[in-house]
Amino acid sequence: MAHLVIKRDGTQEPFDVGKIRHAIEAAAMEAKLSGERVAELVRDVSAVALECAGGRDEISTTELRDAILKELDVVEPFAAEAWRQHDRARRSWV
């Protein structure tokens, strides 16, 4: 599994699966999914992110985001759209 995540600004930080789980959970809750469905998504989609990061020393946040959104597009499009809306809103603040 990747030990480092390379952020968009080039800084590095330790890989933290908890952050990935939190982001997936936030998107699922924003999409107003049931608690059970939120838990399923967190489990299944974070596993995809871990697989994407496997066997590497580092991975970019863009690669992780793309892998997560690709999976969410398939299994829960409303959560994927909630994630994208959050991204757009966050970027408009900067």
> What is the band of 1 on the pLDDT scale with cuts at 50, 70, 90?
confident
Rounded to whole angstroms, the Cα distance separating 70 from 80 reads 8
Residue 94 pLDDT level (bands cut at 50, 70, 90): low
For residue 92, the model assigns a pLDDT of 82
Question: What's the average model confidence in pLDDT over 31-52?
Answer: 96
Which tens digits make up the pLDDT trace of 42-84? 999 999 999 999 989 999 999 999 999 999 999 999 999 999 9
> Which amino acid would we find at residue 56?
R
Q: Is the pLDDT of residue 32 over 90?
A: yes
Q: In whole angstroms, how far apart are CA 35 and each of 20, 25, 38, 49, 87?
A: 17, 10, 5, 21, 23
Among residues 53, 54, 89, the alpha carbon closest in space to that of 26 is found at 89
